[in-house]
Structure 1
């Protein structure tokens, strides 16, 4: 019988063309493919398992047992790790190895190792803090690791290895085998130089900003104190001038009349007082700023000697002035005649160059510092070894790399390599949109054309009226919410874990499989500690091994990282897409983006001031992206209230879920011509809710086209030649963003250069004016479109309300000092909110099924109106039990609540 079974199996394999897993050379090719994937990629073991399974199925290779494939992947990853350690550990010289080993040694009178001291980023913006940040950079550079050739190691392997040293304690690194220990320290030191540069420049940026702000505040206070004297002197001068402008007064009697009102001494004193107190319009409290000279001298010598800047063409004049300051440093009375003066603008001119032609060193230094920071923010100046303050232009595809990628980029983005076909298509779309909108305008009661006193036409759009909610929907909503079980937050997370396994994505930092019991309970507790902002203390249970303080702290330190949070969140988002109820809300093609504000009461560099949102304090914005299925698929932390347009593209390009949103809706703050242009190049639709759409400019491509009633409204013509001449550069920018060689935040910051944008920025802006006009015409013409935008934005705002309810601890303030900690905590908050949304969706879908089986007729439009964001049935306060009933541990459902007596189920058609 066994022989017959084997023969039959062999016959079936031969007939359908299947092969055994161990057959050669396919097995060798699989191992080579796995090795290459692990060497240059960053997939987790579970992701590699799925990819390998898909490859085997595609190539008709019989799948082995789960343990066989798991062991193969584990072995390959181990070989890759060993290769990384061996290559890196052989790079440093013996003297460098000695210095690296000293980093993890504790001194006799020190509480922390040098490694732990150097890992601490600055939290204050002060002169001493900047000096300490520069000393930290010098200490890292003295290791000499930045000079090693690490090109043989893929960036992803280097990045993963360095994260270990950034997170693990020095004692844990010291216990590693020699090769791994040295490799880990080499990776850390190499990456740490860029981190230290960025931290120093962050402190410099905030410090100089504070110095200028303090000078302005002091100037305003001084001006208020002297306002009485200025008014008195001005009134005296006014009295004298009245005589001059009096036509009845003879010219020979002017002096006599003036002296009747004022004595010569009083007039002279009034003139002197006005000259002393009055300020020219371009003066920005320079006198008070010069009084901050001693504060600047505390850090300037170190800054000049340690940091070397580079610049593009626009930054060369600032760079020349900076090098001049470096050349005169250390001289008590330097010769200022050779100072480059091209950097001196109008507001500084009278302060830098005196009437006798001499140059004031203090004023010149402040002028250079101001222009230096302005150039760094625009990235006209940069530091090559930095990360956040580096040159984003250098990260664009260039030379042979761009030539090789051009064809695939055009195919991926569905763009023609030549500009004329694309412009022709846009022209046709624009003509049709103008024609349709002009034809429908007389019947559009919410929109009208108004003409001002100068004959200039503009559109006025009336606000949308609130629609009454159908009684059938209100009854359905009430019934659904009454059926949702009341549940504690820990049970929600454990139940979602049983259904989706999202906690399995939290892997140990060392990439080894955890061998601890009840790991999901510990992860659940840490999720609640971060998501609810209550810390670990309320969750510690000394009698439960999974909830001891040591276990929870170990889990938080080794399992919670941005990449594990992202992978776990992707599981929740993907699970939401499979629920029928969620599919009635949308297919994931539409999303919205908005910012959630948090006060940060602790000292940190990654926070900004905004009185509207943070009062007297400082804060951060969690800029997050919500799909039309109510799930949050990405988020990032920005200091203060950074302009939304700098971050609006990030979520679409960097999110790692199965959703593929094609349209993004935002508030007005995310809008600009450049953003419209980039969205179109990347194949996305940008749909901002415009607070004053009627005041926006409408553009045309054909200056001779007749657009009827809208003809005078389309007054501006797009410079098509600018797009044509720079088309290849536009494709290169889009390709670089799509392939991830440069981040969207960096490139948008460079393109938004203010008064003097680059040629490519102007070309993208011209393209954006076309796509913006297409959007405006649709926005004006289609009331349903405007309402759809409003609906999606309301979903994001309602999700923020749920997030506020979850993040209830410590008055809803973020108390993490470092950017990485803020990102992890708010990423945890987003994950917990997604778990609540998913739980609600599961049970609402079950409730709908129960209602249908009981005779309810549920309209599709009522179902589409439902929201998975109610949270009154969730207990988030004070009761944290980490156990599930047996029937739920395998993914089962808890019973819905009973219908109240006398509350019969009524057919909706009878209402």
Structure 2
């Protein structure tokens, strides 16, 4: 999606005032422009032609005749052309003859290569808009995309009314097609029944059924699980699980359903029938999909709780048994040493003590955990009852499904024992318990075996459910086989990968040989050692030489910048980036709406609620802030606003000293919250309940991706997802390297990231991860042999190459997220050809990375600097979000995403403002002849907050910026001054 450079594309008027940044970036005249204007026009005509020229270049649209011309632009035009500053307020007052204005417009279009749209181009535009409307979420978004399409093809953008009429007809056609799909899929009786049911009162909740369905899951508990199952049961009774609407993109389904989510039920009933049908159907369908994911997630977590409880109980029992065993040995020793009694008596007592010992050897700890889990049959059976209702699917030979079907039949018949000839496959580790003589205990063991294997099979994708988002059949997530066969070449061209594994492996093998040679050279030089543990070791970093000047310069720099109020900072960056226009999908209509937007950002992005923010601002009430908070939950708006702010920050030359923008680090930070929040987990470091915010921080300090996550889970998927989605928006190739901590990588993750075009660079800590995995037969230096493992086979990579490419292409195209992909094809998918190929390839790539990491000091230092840079940005985020997420906040998926996105945007605003002020201060110092070395600036960053006041009474300086941020009133557009 085009960003900051396309800010004015499609506009037909200018704001009343322009900032100096806008004039220089969007409306600048080059030397060749000035020469062309001087050659073509006489002295008194150049100003008007120049204004039309710069506006056409920035917007692709002709400037309205009555549009107000900002003084800043007029002053700049006069200065560049050597003319007195024009005092004309609009083109109408500048041009007395319309023909002259038109002639100048024609010249400017010819000079810029802009042409009026031809009939065949209209047809192309209409066809493209029909295609884009399939995924666009709103009509305004569709029209914006159409403006970009025309601008990139150097076609003069037609009048807004003409383009909007075309957009409305295309949008109406899409809605008609979608309604036709609904009519062909959803029986009219079901639709009427659903409409009536949502308006009725819920029996126990004391609210309408619609409000009951809107209620997000509460804390992790059996009550929440039961309520979630009840909602799914209700939706399935309406027949929602039978509605096949997969041809409509899920984001578009969410957009339609979200309108009901954000609207009061009484307003929904006032809609016309077609609109209500669209919103109703997709609200019910998306709700069912998300509730199913939520239920399976809750069941998975519940199974983990049961296993952990069994593990702890077994550990306690074994510790107690060990104490008792030692006491028996001490008693036997005392009897042996007791010479006061006859030997026969002592032997008899020893025999009594030994008689308490079991005849069979003690079971392993894992076997004891399984026994304990089988004994917890009441809670296991409760979870199984929820799973039996979900109508899980899978291969006919899938053991876990066969076990579940058998258990369901036994429960329905009232049986309490497992038949000896049950005929269901049982894994070797559970077979002893299932085949025991006690058939009641055998049934309990089968139930425990089924629920643990089902959890794993759901994660690996061998068992699935059709009415789900994340637990669908794996082939449904990936590019369909027929499409893959026909479009395989195109996908491989986009990825830059060969059709077979051999060319890729040949290059990788050559790089491995070079890496091993460099590692041997580093070992010979003493920079790397091999310890007795058989692992590679490094000495600590030598500190870089410093004389303290960079630190003193940084302190003087921020002292010169001076203190800042957060309200001033937000509006100043908004003037330069227009992020408020992105968030609202238009300019704010009045000051109240603009301040409400800023307040909503703070209410989402800090621990303060809407009422608290309203008390701080005092320019707007809490109700307006609460309503605007819903606007920020619209899909994609916060991410696009963040991208625009980061792009503005990167326009400053000082950022080139910090990095190229093609390297980043990613890590999670935790926001404290109540244990009552559904997504809350215990942070292992601070032992408090928290929710994770995963961020990607560029080497130039800006946060380019954010996503809320659940703590204590593997983060390789979200690390890859963020890198891919950021790179999709860049024309420079995006990220080439991503630094992560140990928990942010897996072997499969390293393989997938490399095939997607960037390197995953982990900071490894465990000694077991410092082995060199090499292909069989590859030669290695004698001194490196202790750390080499020649266990890699290239054959699985070749056999699974096509499936691996299909997986990577599916991630790249956005068909499946990397998070879900790595869950399905990660460690849970052991034995799958795609997993084997990715695992073997990932080990080779990790070996190559280790060679670079251990042999190249600068590379290692750069990775650590990237991770430390990310930590400094997290410190700034913690300064902005100082408290806890309230118990009533973040329960809905859209809301927790808005919290994450708003915190990221507020952080980027501070970073961008600091960067701009640092650049201005350095330029001023150098202009006065003061020495400021680039090397000093390279060691300081903009993630600084001591000078910014985030709290207290905030007063937004509307009178200073409203002319640039608010939509001009009709009388202002035509005014002349």
Q: Check whether the contact 1:602–1:816 (CA below 8 A) recurs between aligned residues.
A: no
TM-superposed CA distance for 1:66, in Å, is 5.5
Conserved? CA contact 2:381–2:447, under 8 Å: no
- Unaligned 5+ runs, structure 1: 244-255, 892-911
User: How far off its partner does 1:644 sit?
Assistant: 2.5
Query: Per-residue CA shift, 1:234-264, capped at 9, x if unaligned?
Result: 4445678999xxxxxxxxxxxx986342435
C-alpha displacement of 1:653 = 1.8
* 2:356 corresponds to which of 256, 259, 272: 272
Structure 2 residue aligned with 1:475: 552
Q: Which stretch of structure 1 is more off in the superposition, 431-440 or 279-288?
A: 279-288
Question: Structure 2 regions of 5+ residues with no counterpart?
Answer: 1-96, 966-977
Rounded to whole Å, the distance in 2 between the matches of 1:15 and 1:820 is 47
Q: Paired residues, what number?
A: 863
Equivalent residue, structure 2, for 1:499? 576
The two structures have a TM-score, normalised by structure 2, of 0.81
Change (3 A) 1:41 1:577: same
Which deviates more, 150-159 or 635-644?
150-159
Question: Corresponding residue for 2:294?
Answer: 199
Q: Sort the Cα spacing of 1:302 and 1:757 in 2 relative to 1 into closer, same or farther, 3 A.
A: closer
Pairwise CA distance, 1:37:
1.6
Counterpart pick for 2:146 among 27, 52, 59: 52
Alignment of 1:707-722 (within 5 A): 707=781, 709-710=783-784, 713-716=787-790, 718-722=792-796
Residue aligning to 2:94: none
In 2, distance between residues paired with 1:634 and 1:117?
33
Whether contact under 8 Å (2:776, 2:790) holds in the other structure is no
**Which of 626, 631, 634 is the equivalent residue of 2:705?**
634
Offset of 1:664 from its aligned partner?
0.3
Q: Distance in 2 between matches of 1:259 and 1:375?
A: 60
- The question of whether the paired residues in 2 share the 8 Å contact of 1:383 and 1:389 is answered with yes
Structure 1 position 579 matched with structure 2 position 657: no
Which is further off, 599-608 or 292-301?
292-301
How far apart, CA to CA, are the structure 2 residues paired with 1:275 and 1:162? 64
Q: Give secondary structure in 2 for the equivalent of 1:460.
A: strand
Q: Contact (CA 8 Å) 1:194, 1:385: kept in 2 or not?
A: yes
Q: Matched residue of 2:648: which SS? A: helix
Change (3 A) 1:393 1:343: farther
Q: Which residue of 2 aligns with 1:906?
A: none
Instruction: Give secondary structure in 2 for the equivalent of 1:375.
Output: helix
Select the residue among 801, 811, 816 that pairs with 1:737.
Answer: 811
Q: From 199, 204, 207, give the equivalent of 1:105.
A: 199
User: 1: CA distance between counterparts of 2:344 and 2:797?
Assistant: 68
- C-alpha separation between the residues in 2 aligned to 1:96 and 1:812? 39
Residue 539 of structure 1: how far off its partner (Å): 2.1
Q: In 2 relative to 1, CA 768–857 (structure 1 residues): closer, same or farther, beyond 3 Å?
A: same
- Other structure's SS at 2:705 match: strand
Tell me the equivalent position of 1:520.
Answer: 594
Match among 382, 390, 411 for residue 307 of structure 1:
390
57-66 or 273-282, larger mean C-alpha shift: 273-282
Q: Which stretch has the larger CA shift, 225-234 or 568-577?
A: 225-234
- After TM superposition, the structure 1 = structure 2 runs for residues 566-715 of structure 1, keeping only pairs within 5 Å, are 566-610=639-683, 612-615=684-687, 617-655=688-726, 657-658=729-730, 660-691=734-765, 696-701=770-775, 703=777, 705=779, 707=781, 709-710=783-784, 713-715=787-789
- CA positional deviation for 1:798: 0.5
SS at match of 2:815: coil
1:553 maps to: 626
Select 2:303's aligned residue among 192, 208, 215: 208
Indicate how the Cα distance of structure 1 residues 447 and 125 shifts in structure 2: closer, same or farther if over 3 A, else same.
same
Secondary structure of the structure 1 residue equivalent to 2:607? coil
Larger mean CA deviation between 150-159 and 171-180 belongs to 150-159
CA, structure 1 residues 480+407, in 2 after alignment: closer, same or farther (shift >3 Å)?
A: same
Distance 1:517 1:836 in 2: 22
2:851 counterpart of 1:777: yes
Taking structure 1 as the reference length, what is the TM-score of the superposition? 0.86
After superposition, give the CA deviation of every residue in 1:565-592 in whole Å (9 maximum; x if it has no partner): 1111111112122111122212210000
Q: Within 5 Å, which residues of 2 pair with 1:7-26? A: 19-21=115-117, 23-26=118-121
Q: 1:44 to 1:506 in 2, by over 3 A?
A: farther
Distance 1:19 1:885, change over 3 A: closer
Deviation at 1:174, TM superposition (A): 1.6
2:528 match: 447
Task: State the SS of the aligned residue for 1:150.
Answer: coil
Q: Report the CA distance between 1:387 and its aligned residue.
A: 1.3
Residues 331 and 783 from structure 1, CA distance in 2 versus in 1: closer, same or farther, beyond 3 angstroms?
same
Q: Residue 419 of structure 2 contacts residue 439 of structure 2 at CA under 8 Å; is this kept in 1?
A: no
Q: Helix, strand or coil: the match of 1:648?
A: helix
In the TM superposition, what is the alpha-carbon distance from 1:888 to its structure 2 partner?
Answer: 8.8
Whether the aligned pair in 2 keeps the contact of 1:601 and 1:814 (CA below 8 Å) is no
1:522 CA displacement:
0.5
Counterparts in 2 of 1:709 and 1:517: CA distance versus 1, 3 Å: same
Give the 3-state SS of the residue equivalent to 1:476 in structure 2. helix
Question: Offset at 1:661?
Answer: 1.2
CA distance in 2, matches of 1:492, 1:529: 17
Query: Which of 915, 930, 937 is equivalent to 1:856?
Result: 930
For the residue of structure 2 that corresponds to 1:338, the secondary structure is coil
Tell me which residue corresponds to 2:446. Answer: 364
Name the CA distance, whole Å, in 1 between partners of 2:844 and 2:324.
56
CA contact (8 A) 1:351 1:360 kept: yes
Name the CA distance, whole Å, in 2 between partners of 1:704 and 1:667. Answer: 30
Work out the CA distance in 2 between the residues paired with 1:207 and 1:548. 42
The farther-off stretch of 811-820 and 359-368 is: 811-820
- Which sits farther off after the overlay, 107-116 or 818-827? 107-116
Matched residue, 1:294: 378
- Partner of 2:119: helix, strand, or coil? coil
Q: Provide the rounded CA distance (Å) in 2 between the counterparts of 1:178 and 1:144.
A: 20
The structure-2 alpha-carbon separation of the partners of 1:497 and 1:13, relative to structure 1 and needing over 3 Å to count, comes to closer
The verdict on how the C-alpha distance between 1:238 and 1:647 changes in structure 2, with shifts beyond 3 A counting, is farther
Q: Deviations over 1:607-658 (max 9, x none)?
A: 3335x3342x433221211011101111222222212334321111233654
In structure 2, the partner of 1:343 is 426
Shift, 1:388, TM fit: 2.1
Deviations 1:370-410 (A, max 9, x none): 22223223333222221122233432224221112211122
1:69/1:528 CA distance change after superposition, 3 Å: same
The alignment yields a C-alpha RMSD, in angstroms, of: 3.6
- CA positional deviation for 1:34: 2.1
Aligned-pair CA distance for 1:791: 0.7
The residue number in structure 1 matching 2:74 is none
Counterpart position of 1:402: 484
- For the residue of structure 2 that corresponds to 1:649, the secondary structure is helix
1:419 equivalent to 2:487? Answer: no
Give 1:433's aligned residue. 515
